[in-house]
Amino acid sequence: MTNQLFILNSSIRQLDGLYSLNDLHKISGNEDKHLPFRFMRLEQTQELIAEIQSEFKTPDLVFKITKGRGIQGTYACKELVIAYAAWISPQFHLVVLRAFLDRLENSQNAQQNLPLAKPEIRYPAEFTGAEIYSLVWLLISNRNMNELLGELEHPLAAIGSNFHPTVYSHHREYKHLIDEALPILKRLIEPFKESNPVEFERIKARLKLN
């Protein structure tokens, strides 16, 4: 993998563009006081997460906690990875920072030799009205569940629940996916505008489209 990250000759697992803090913890000395969950609970870490999201004006995922086989642990964006390394020690911070800088330099050199990207392939598809309705209600139900996760986030944080990081992560990750799907559904319901304008406005309102 050309974009693989190595710290002290050890490969760091990646998941959806995020890096394993558990791998970094192990490489840094595996001390209990430096466990990832302790870092994630810090007020300063929560403020950093909020700042990253506000800077990019989007609920992009900055970390996730997984329990899947072979990928279990806490995964974080590069900004959090570097902050985590700095929290462990200045020496480890320097090691991790240099690893990212080296990888960036290698990536820039490789980009110069890449061919021009081909246009994305578009696939024609036809849907019945019932199929479009199914997709609309699927998105609405997912958004309702996502909003529930958002409402649970602060109460779980207030009681120090171990579920808070997972709920926090899922709420932002899935909201981002829902936001990406909305323009697609907007195109699919466009034919209703002429064939059934009343129904078109009703669906549009339920999807909260402008």
**How far is Cα 43 from Cα 49, in angstroms, rounded to an integer?**
10
Write out pLDDT tens, residues 143-193. Answer: 999 999 999 988 988 898 888 888 888 888 888 888 888 888 888 888 888
**How far is Cα 91 from Cα 161, in angstroms, rounded to an integer?**
32
* Amino acid making up residue 64: K
Distances (CA, A) of 3 to 44, 64, 110, 166, 194: 29, 20, 10, 26, 48
3-state secondary structure of 65: strand
pLDDT of residue 1: 45
Q: Which two tokens stand for residue 82?
A: 């570097």
Write out pLDDT tens, residues 34-90. Answer: 999 999 999 999 999 888 877 766 545 788 888 877 778 999 999 999 999 999 999
b/e per residue, 173-188, with b = 16+ CB within 10 A?
bbbeebeebeeebeeb
Note the residue count of the chain.
Answer: 210
Please tell me the pTM assigned to this model. 0.54
